[in-house]
Structure 1
Amino acid sequence: MAAATTDALQDAGDWDVPRAPFVDYTAYPTPSIAEYARGSGVDGFLVGFLNTRPGGDKTLSWGGYQGDGDATTGDFGKEDFTAFTKNGGTPILSFGGASNAPLETSETDIAGIVAQYQGVIDNYQTKHLDFAFEGAILGDDAAQDRHTAAIGQLLQDNPGLKLSYTLPADGAPGSLVGFPPAAERLLNRLADAGIQPSLLNGLLMEFGQSAPADAFECCRIALDGMFTQVQAIWPQWSRQQVWRRIGATPMFGRNMNGKVFTLENMRQLAAFATEHQLGCLSGWDATRDHNQGTLPECSLSSNHPDLVRCTAVEQQPYDFAKIIARYRK
């Protein structure tokens, strides 16, 4: 089912939270973005992930865990978010994630999807949403159609709502450069429905086998590829506007496939972002960045570092985020 709208959808404009690392808010213990902001100087966080539980009641909750309450009515995270926003911060609620079930994969009623998203917007009083779509939904045409239809309605009901799409991207010449074909199909669906996201954010991690050895070079190739794709999908955007709607999210430190994104790579990426005026400089994730140099289990002497909790590189807490905090300041 394609999006059905009666009026042309308003363009909410360029992304306005240029410094925003991701935070896995479903981790234990629950992170504090207010604390992370004090330690790093960052004034934005992409906070994830909101999902449904497969076989559950199609209600959005944090990580799909019903124990954290219904995200359309509950208070989970609100005290922390309020402390962060009082000091000028902007939390961006993120839906999806690598191993989770986005709402559209289980809820087939478009009105029901709209109602869930509207409930989260109203409950958390947010003007920014991120959809971190990986995995199965990128191959699920029906779920993408439902998402597009629901988002078209949501934008009509919430003028000025800024949308971000965080999607896998690669920098492997001869194999894959930029967004994969499945992600491109989603972006084309959005464009065909008149939807103009404020941010197209590339997950710059786990690069393919033909990617260069240097992690920053992989990122540069991926971002150049994303630019070409986005320019073709939204030809009404100027060259400068395309760059302003592109985001970069590397995996801090050691990646699961062994490639290492170093602090020097982060500085190089920040310089690239400054040169092109990217819409957002991000990274995965703030908790790993906080933990390295803090937790004993993140010691570099470990033969098997916990890459879920640690960056596994030589650094002090918040070193990656502190580079992000200086971007476009």
Structure 2
Amino acid sequence: MSAVEPGATAPSAPETLSQVDKPRRRLSVVRVLLGVVLVVALSSGGYLGWQWWGSAQAADAYDPWFAGYVDVTATPTYDFEASAERAGSDVVLSFIVADAEEPCTPSWGTYYTLDEAADELDLDRRLARVTQLDGQVVVSFGGLLNTELGTGCTDTTKLTAAYAAVLDRYDVTTIDLDLEGENLTDSAAAKRRATAIAELQADRRGAGDDLAVWLTLPVGTFGLTEDGTDAVTAMLDAKVDLAGVNLMTMDYGSSKDADETMAEASIRAVTAAHGQIGTLYSRAGTELTDATVWSKIGMTPMAGQNDVPDEVFDLDDARAVNAFAKEQKIGRMSLWSLNRDTTCGSNYADLTRVSDSCSGIDQGDETFVGVLGKGFTGRPVTAAASVTTDEAKDIESIIDDPDTSPYSIWAEESSYLEGTKVVWHRNVYQTKWWTRGDLPDNPVLNEWETPWVLIGPVMPGETPIPKPTLPAGTYPTWDGTAIYEKGTLILFDGVPYESKWWNQGESPDAAAADPDGSPWSVLADAEVEKLLEALPQ
């Protein structure tokens, strides 16, 4: 995940999980209420949403897991094999990278081959102890500051063998591909990596073994970067069955608003990425329900002080993120890092300088593991057995019922003025500008590509919201024979309308279906409410 070297300028754009020179590592990585979640929903559109309907598959298979990252080569050494907390017993070991001299040979941070790590770090023995204590291990490849195997090893056959050597050595069923920096932007490497992983996954599954593949990617409050969406696309094009996309919810830089908490920024980022991931699957030919997409999302905040000096992820942020993650039912929660999940000692003077062994904040008796891991009771090995299936039939089976919808059902032939609300696929959408024929849930990668903003789901028991009416006599009742000048106010079934231009015989009833062509516009609810308040009681 991301790091800032001594004397360097903090990043202004989203960064990530990292690894630096061995003796000293510079590591990166309740106030959120319903209103915050609503604001997040209002900021996004297209595929993004809370579909009230969900996937039965996702609900049945949902078994979220927590595992914190451990920097294997950091000093002082972190005793991950002896966690006192249940949530801390499953670990993501980082980072396997290309050997500096032999790029098709896996190494731990370029410092140790797999055999050297067994000898000098006692790694194999410590992992055996994890198993004895009922812990589970995930291995992470990549990181920010070294060369990931797929980037360094240009022979796909040797690359596949390198990944397989790590899986066999540590007997893991879940891997994490942490792609950052040049490892993320190298398109040739992306293709090689995806080809190798697809072959490896197919071979393992063909032999009856599980292999879950997670992509860990940087994220801004706007969602995934273009390089990030390209990385997901490369995997899907190669037919890799991704377990999910783990989002590095940290180091937002300039994409974070000054008055946002880290929890609010993280919720905004993950909600935007949710829409992007659903769209990427749709473009790859696999339709997934909202619920399934949420189950394919992971979150990895950075404990305490982030690399960006003004960004501090505290325990209140952790509680808010945990509540959001459980509400949306994301599939995975992680932490950068277990090494840092403790209050700094009194001899650590500059708390704004990121430490590799403490968080930079006063944690009291609490841990980030304990807060973030609450409710994540699943295990990586169990989740690794999940297989992604197309859910187009589930989506197509959704029928919008006018009798149980608060607003009119979207229709392709209708035009909609700015601010109009409609129901589509059991969700409420609102227009950002005039539109006709644009599907409210049309898959888009960025919110500016759609005229629709998702407000939220149609709630159980809802019925059509009646238009506010005014008492008879407040304005004249519409008369088909009368002539109306621009600005004339009338009542039609008690609902007030204003004439947009001269007209005669044009029924206000057509205004809802054809707001552009109708000479009548209904008065806004707020205006009607003001008029009602002004009327004598």
User: Is 1:201 paired with 2:249?
Assistant: no
Secondary structure of the structure 1 residue equivalent to 2:256: coil
Secondary structure of the structure 1 residue equivalent to 2:163: helix
Whichever of the two has the greater Rg, that structure is 2
Match of 2:13 in 1: none
The answer to which structure has the higher helix fraction is 1
1:72 and 1:107 map into 2 onto residues whose CA distance is: 23
1:205 offset after TM fit, Å? 0.9
1:72 offset after TM fit, Å? 11
1:25 offset after TM fit, Å? 1.1
Which digits, 9 at most, give the CA deviation of each residue in 1:36-86, with x for residues without a partner?
x22464232111000113343531011111366367999852222222222
1:227 offset after TM fit, Å? 0.4
1:14 offset after TM fit, Å? 7.0
Aligned length: 307
Q: Pick one of 233, 249, 253 that aligns with 2:304.
A: 253
Aligned pairs for 1:1-80 within 5 A: 18-35=65-82, 37-39=83-85, 41-56=87-102, 58-66=104-112, 69=115, 76-80=122-126
8 Å contact kept, 1:73–1:120: no
Q: Relative to 1, partners in 2 of residues 1:66 and 1:79: Cα closer, same or farther, differing over 3 Å?
A: closer
Higher deviation after alignment, 122-131 or 231-240? 231-240
Q: Pick one of 151, 156, 169 that aligns with 2:197.
A: 151
Match of 2:30 in 1: none
Match of 1:325 in 2: 373
Amino acid across the alignment from 1:199: G
Amino acid across the alignment from 1:225: A
8 Å contact kept, 1:270–1:324: yes
Aligned pairs for 1:1-329 within 5 A: 18-35=65-82, 37-39=83-85, 41-56=87-102, 58-66=104-112, 69=115, 76-159=122-205, 160-171=210-221, 177-212=222-257, 213-235=260-282, 236-258=287-309, 259-290=311-342, 292-293=343-344, 295-298=345-348, 302=350, 305-316=353-364, 319-329=367-377
1:34 offset after TM fit, Å? 1.8
Secondary structure of the structure 1 residue equivalent to 2:213: strand
Q: Relative to 1, partners in 2 of residues 1:165 and 1:148: Cα closer, same or farther, differing over 3 Å?
A: same
2:242 and 2:297 map into 1 onto residues whose CA distance is: 10
Amino acid across the alignment from 2:125: E
1:207 offset after TM fit, Å? 0.5
What RMSD in Å do the two structures reach over aligned CA positions? 2.4
Match of 1:9 in 2: none
Q: Relative to 1, partners in 2 of residues 1:137 and 1:72: Cα closer, same or farther, differing over 3 Å?
A: farther
1:310 offset after TM fit, Å? 2.3
2:62 and 2:159 map into 1 onto residues whose CA distance is: 24
User: Unaligned stretches of 5+ in structure 1?
Assistant: 1-12, 172-176
1:208 offset after TM fit, Å? 2.8
Q: Percent identity?
A: 27
User: Unaligned stretches of 5+ in structure 2?
Assistant: 1-59, 378-537
2:197 and 2:62 map into 1 onto residues whose CA distance is: 17
Which digits, 9 at most, give the CA deviation of each residue in 1:116-152, with x for residues without a partner?
1111111111111111111102111111111011011
